[in-house]
Amino acid sequence: MAEASLHAYACGSTTHDVGQLLRGAPRQRRVFPATVFLFRTGDRQVLFDTGYAPLPWRTGIAGRLYRHFLPPVVPAGATLADVVDTAAVTEVVLSHLHPDHVGGLAAVPHARVLVSEGTRRQLARPRVRDGVLRGLLPDDLADRLVVVPDAAFHPGPAALAGLGLADPFGDGRFRLVRLPGHTDGQLGALVDGRVLLAADAAWSRDLLGHEDRIRALPRAVAHDAGAQRDTAQRLLALERAGVRLLFSHDEHPTGVDLLAEDDRGGS
């Protein structure tokens, strides 16, 4: 079996007051990185999400509202094209369509783009609450889209009961996981059976399990608040079973193979 590696890169960030997210949390403005993950094995290079697009954006009033509530910061040298050899990327997996996950798509024009059926529905008929900014999506996205059907997801091991696994590359090394709640069809990825890229199933690891405290506005923009709580509990159980959870908006070390870090018991 070919060796594999997993690296994280922060492609911009935003800030938000944690007290405005959770009831009872202190008023604390926190930086939330827009993390992309690059999985390499053999000739395959799979990018999980693409971070923020460089500013300025041409996304109309919806984009202005987004930038007001979640102001993006994209320093020089921090876009996807700056930190990843995008010409070598063979596939992109989009966890969902929010701006901090799709902004680098234009930098990988030759890669196939894997999405769920729920994400395809949002592409076809986006609503305001879906947070989809069409101005950030490349014109040729439909030509490169690969929709992973719901029927491709199977129960998997007991620790993943209720979520479901799909194996788009057929080798069991980078399997997609359904993470319902935050958006319609949000995807995560189980890497080598021991590291889960958990996307926005929670804003950060320390906020996982506090879904009952989410304030009315962030709860209202979630696709399914009940499913979000259920997903969180399943992820906590998965973590107790020994799987390491990596969320998109936590800080992760750069220049470090996260699979090797996992072998050493890193957090």
pTM score, two decimals?
Answer: 0.95
Rounded Cα gap, residues 147 and 185, in angstroms: 11
The confidence score (pLDDT) of residue 263 equals 62
Neighbours of 182 (CB within 10 A): 23
One-letter amino acid at 171 equals D
Output the CA angle 83-14-239, nearest 5 degrees: 80
For 4-261, which CATH class?
Answer: alpha beta
120 vs 146: CA distance, rounded Å: 9
Convert the pLDDT of each residue in 205-234 to its tens digit. 999 999 999 998 888 888 999 999 999 999
So what's the pLDDT on residue 2? 78
Q: What is the pLDDT of residue 219?
A: 86
The pLDDT profile of the chain, 267 residues, written as one tens digit per residue, is 679 999 999 999 999 999 999 999 889 999 999 999 999 999 999 999 999 999 999 999 989 999 999 999 999 999 999 999 999 999 999 999 999 999 999 999 999 999 999 999 999 888 777 889 999 999 999 999 999 999 999 987 777 778 999 999 999 999 999 999 999 999 999 999 999 999 999 999 999 999 999 998 888 888 999 999 999 999 999 999 999 999 999 999 999 999 997 665 544
- The alpha carbons of the chain give a radius of gyration, in whole angstroms, of 17
- Cα 8 to Cα 89: distance, rounded to the nearest angstrom: 14
Q: What pLDDT is recorded for position 236?
A: 95
Which amino acid makes up residue 195?
A: V
* Residue given tokens 């950030």 in the structure block: 136
Q: Alpha-carbon distance 93 to 37, whole Å?
A: 10
**In contact, 174 and 105? CB cutoff 8 Å:** no
pLDDT the model gives residue 267: 45
State both tokens at 111. 């890669």
Number of H helices, E strands in the chain: 8, 11
